[in-house]
């Protein structure tokens, strides 16, 4: 019998993030407490999102609105790294970055966790920005998935190509 395997990845659906951003922009334009505060949210390139407002409190509130929309669209907040509010003239800005891919350092941490705490028959291989986990037993793979879900690696993990 061939080995079963799955891949551990850290990817986000760009369309879902775009939908969350559009919903947040609509809410910022319609909510009474954001009227005349210059609150806005927009893309800045492929991976950056910029939130702006007239005061530091309003830009933080706009960030909370965006995070709420991300959660509703099942996007982990670990995939969005927001900076601190910065004054830029009369406007405050928060620049956030979408975090994708598993760094080599994080992949090594995950592989070590699987080796140390997972079933002995499981093998983990680093393949670029993802990690392939394989074993003869599907039950062992299920236990590795639950082990990784219960751990905190500061990145959003998804499990794909389960076969």
- Domains along the chain? 4-11+102-160 (3.30.70.860), 14-98 (3.30.70.990)
- What is the full per-residue pLDDT of the chain (163 aa) written as tens digits? 568 999 999 999 999 999 999 999 999 999 999 988 899 999 998 889 999 999 999 999 999 999 999 999 999 999 999 999 999 889 999 999 999 989 899 999 999 999 999 999 999 999 988 899 999 999 999 999 999 999 888 888 999 988 8
pTM recorded for the entire structure: 0.86
How many residues in total does the chain contain?
163
Closest by Cα among 13, 129, 152, 149 to 75 = 13
Q: Residue 1 has what pLDDT?
A: 55
- pLDDT score for 88: 87
């Amino acid at each position: 019998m061939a080995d079963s395997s799955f891949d551990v990845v850290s990817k986000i659906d760009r369309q879902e993030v775009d939908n969350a951003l559009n919903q947040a922009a609509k809410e910022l334009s319609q909510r009474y407490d954001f009227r005349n505060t210059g609150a806005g949210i927009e893309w800045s390139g492929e991976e950056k999102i910029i939130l702006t407002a007239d005061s530091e409190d309003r830009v933080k509130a706009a960030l909370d609105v965006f995070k709420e929309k991300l959660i509703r669209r099942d996007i982990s907040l670990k995939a969005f790294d927001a900076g601190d509010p910065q004054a830029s003239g009369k406007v405050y800005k928060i620049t956030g970055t979408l975090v994708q891919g598993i760094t080599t350092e994080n992949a090594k941490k995950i592989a070590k966790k699987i080796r140390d705490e997972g079933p002995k028959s499981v093998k983990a291989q680093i393949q670029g920005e993802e990690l392939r986990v394989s074993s003869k037993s599907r039950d062992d793979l299920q236990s590795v998935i639950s082990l990784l879900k219960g751990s905190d690696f500061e990145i959003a993990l998804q499990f794909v190509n389960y076969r």
